[in-house]
Amino acid sequence: MQRYAVGEWDSLWASEPYMKHRFVLDLESRAVIAGEDRVRRHW
């Protein structure tokens, strides 16, 4: 079974309109272990 999943999440907050965020999900613990936003490009 695959341990990690990568997904994208669209933010619709007024302060950050239509930003895309990428995240890495640990499927065993069901926790987000890393994330990156489109503007700052930081994990």
For residue range 7-41, list pLDDT tens digits in order. 887 766 666 656 677 888 888 888 887 776 666 65
Q: What is the DSSP string of 3-23?
A: -EEEEEEEE--SSSTTEEEEE
Between strands 19-26 and 31-37, the pairing is antiparallel
d(CA 10, CA 22): 9
Query: Using 50, 70 and 90 to split pLDDT, how confident is the model at 2?
Result: confident
What does the pLDDT read at residue 17? 56
